[in-house]
Amino acid sequence: MIARASSSAKKKKCRSPVLDLQTILTPVEGLRELRGDRTIPVTEIRYDSRKVAAGDMYVAINGRDDHGPQFVAEAIAAGAKIIVSDAPDSLPAEVRDNQTITLVVVDDARAAMGEMVNRLHNYPAHRLKLFGITGTNGKTTTAWLLLQLLEAAGERVGMIGTLGNYRDGSFTPTGYTTPESPELAAALAEMADAGCTAVVMEVSSHALALHRVAGLRLYAGVFTNLTQDHLDFHGSMAEYHDAKKLLFDHLDADRSAVVNLDDVHGTTMVRDCYATVVGYGAKEEADAHIQETELGPNHTAWTLKLSERFGGGTLRLRSGLVGDFNIWNATAAVATALTEGMDRTLLVQAVSNLRAVPGRMETIALPNGATAVVDYAHTPDALEKALLTLRKVGGNATLTVVFGCGGNRDAAKRPIMGAIAARLADRVVLTSDNPRSENPETILDQIAAGIANPATITRISDRAAAIQHALGQANADDVVLIAGKGHEDYQIIGLQKIHFDDREVVRDWAAAQAAEQHHQLQGTAQ
């Protein structure tokens, strides 16, 4: 059972050691100017002026959505004595001329921040086996499965990702797939101090492009796949690809790069990579070659033919995970564990005991014999895979999908997802998924634009009402996929973040239906 810690729970504050500025700057590349006292002590490194306290360094990040220079005066008023900037001309004149403030000018403030915070925390990643997993889909599941395999091998493992920071059986939500470098370094230091020997971390394309993982040294990197997503941030698939590739570009020669060879980008990810490349997938040249797959409504099974890199031979694996894509997720974890030399007998047993991630193809039985499936699928590729999986295991059952697309995010994928839903599902219910500042109906219009006959779909922007409608239409043996939010327990509407959990809506509806059925039976008996 996975426990989820409250974000408001009291946690022991992990304070950084106090080092002088000269020491903090040691690993920084691109240092252009240092004006002021280089012996001044640094207690914490902040990029949010609202969190600055006396003795802190303030990094004035100046990017697309970050306007740190305009908050420098506020940071100084709060006690900052050191300002770091890559755009000194954008700083207020009174700050540039302030002789009591130490000014550090660098080529890239974000990259420098990552290097400095890891020095401040005495390079926590060096005390851990740090596994980084990147890709459009499957990061969370692969990370969670690898964590379990490493635990079975005797490691004490932490995890950082979409579900939050995990240690000792519980998740603490963070709101990021990969936190900003100060929070990330602090989390790694806390895990190392608590006795963790390994950490599995999801590495998002945003984190790579924004240098959130700067200063870290990975033990191994894993690539799952690359499909359209986040083009609102990266601008093009080429830029999205190159952001992901950064993870492998920075692997050392004595490390491993575990990549999905069935994805067309698998080989390009590791082009010019110094690390040892380990391929997995259905292609014969894969070091972990997937064969003889078996899909069931409550299990998967497959054979792995291993290359001489792993000593040759085969493994027959079986797990309680559902869907062929989970064979690939599990194989990514298995291949990574094999690079660690994990005992094969132990590995087979550990795979049989793998537990699914909350909100990832999570099934909930309904009173009338239908099944609801809650999944995080929020990209075209993930939605297609989820629907195809349920088609395979559901036989001739009627398949309904309830989904939407997030506001203020990649709008180009909306009609694509609409077309996928209409092609693969029998019933389509469009609804809201974190509309944020966009008009929910406008988002639904854009999804519906990809559907040849929009009259065949149902539109209910209220997500709870949409889920309840779909469940009410389902008959025995039918399947209702509720996609997009998975484990998330909130809905962002406008500027408000309100509590909302797809699983709670389904369970509450199921409980109400069960109570109604019981009441009717009692009435009949009387």
The reply to whether 316 and 175 lie within a common domain is yes
The reply to whether 243 and 336 lie within a common domain is yes
Task: Kindly state the tokens that stand for 46.
Answer: 């902040």
Sign of the alpha-carbon torsion through 157, 160, 161, 163: positive
Residue 521's pLDDT is what? 76
Task: Kindly state the tokens that stand for 91.
Answer: 């700083």
Task: Kindly state the tokens that stand for 133.
Answer: 């997993």
Residue 224 lies in a domain: yes
Task: Indicate the residue among 90, 119, 148 that finishes a domain.
Answer: 119
Q: How far is CA 298 from the centre of its chain?
A: 25
**Per-residue confidence in pLDDT tens, the chain, 526 aa:** 233 333 333 334 444 557 999 999 999 999 999 999 999 999 999 999 999 999 899 999 987 666 788 899 999 999 999 999 998 888 888 777 788 899 999 999 999 999 999 999 999 999 999 999 999 888 999 999 999 999 999 999 999 998 899 998 888 888 888 899 999 999 999 999 999 999 999 998 888 888 899 889 999 999 999 986 655 565 688 888 988 999 999 999 999 999 999 999 999 999 989 999 999 999 999 999 999 999 887 789 999 999 999 999 999 999 989 888 899 999 999 999 999 999 999 999 999 999 988 888 888 989 999 999 999 999 998 899 899 999 988 778 899 999 999 999 989 999 999 999 999 999 999 999 999 999 999 999 999 999 999 888 999 999 999 999 999 999 999 999 999 999 899 999 999 999 999 999 999 999 999 998 877 777 666 6
Task: Indicate the residue among 325, 352, 379 that finishes a domain.
Answer: 352
Q: How far is CA 484 from the centre of its chain?
A: 13
Give the CATH number of the domain where residue 94 resides: 3.40.1390.10
Q: Are 470 and 441 in contact (CB under 8 A)?
A: no
Residue 1 lies in a domain: no
Phi, psi (5° rounding) for residue 428?
-125, 125
Q: Are 404 and 378 in contact (CB under 8 A)?
A: no
Total domain count, the chain:
3
Say what the alpha-carbon torsion angle 383, 258, 139, 189 is, to the nearest 10 degrees: -170
The reply to whether 190 and 208 lie within a common domain is yes
Alpha helices in 201-309, H assignment, sequence order: 205-209, 231-234, 237-249, 266-269
Task: Kindly state the tokens that stand for 520.
Answer: 């009717």
Looking only at Cα atoms, what is the longest distance across the chain? Answer: 89
The reply to whether 99 and 150 lie within a common domain is no
Quote helix, strand, coil % in the chain, to nearest 5.
35, 25, 40
The reply to whether 128 and 55 lie within a common domain is no
The reply to whether 347 and 410 lie within a common domain is no
How many Å apart are CA 479 and CA 474, to the nearest integer? 7
Residue 475 lies in a domain: yes
Closest among 115, 131, 283, 254 to 202, alpha carbons compared: 131
Could you read off the pLDDT of 387-432 as tens digits, one per residue? 999 998 877 889 999 999 999 998 999 999 999 999 999 999 999 9
Q: Are 137 and 225 in contact (CB under 8 A)?
A: yes
The reply to whether 128 and 115 lie within a common domain is no
Residue 520 lies in a domain: no
The reply to whether 495 and 401 lie within a common domain is yes
Task: Indicate the residue among 331, 352, 373 that finishes a domain.
Answer: 352
How many Å apart are CA 173 and CA 182, to the nearest integer? 16
How many Å apart are CA 46 and CA 76, to the nearest integer? 12
In Å, what is the CA distance from 267 to each residue of 124, 166, 234, 318, 413? 31, 31, 21, 28, 25
The reply to whether 133 and 229 lie within a common domain is yes
Using only the alpha carbons of the chain, give its radius of gyration: 25
The reply to whether 296 and 164 lie within a common domain is yes
Phi, psi (5° rounding) for residue 53?
-130, 170
Sign of the alpha-carbon torsion through 515, 520, 525, 526: positive
Phi, psi (5° rounding) for residue 168?
55, 40
Could you read off the pLDDT of 270-325 as tens digits, one per residue? 998 999 999 999 999 999 999 999 988 778 999 999 999 999 999 999 998 988 88
Residue 526 lies in a domain: no
The reply to whether 196 and 262 lie within a common domain is yes
Residue 160 lies in a domain: yes
Q: How far is CA 277 from the centre of its chain?
A: 23
Residue 8 lies in a domain: no
Work out whether strand 170-172 and strand 3-4 pair parallel, antiparallel, or are unpaired. parallel
Domain that holds residue 424: 362-514
The reply to whether 329 and 218 lie within a common domain is yes
Mean pLDDT of the chain: 90
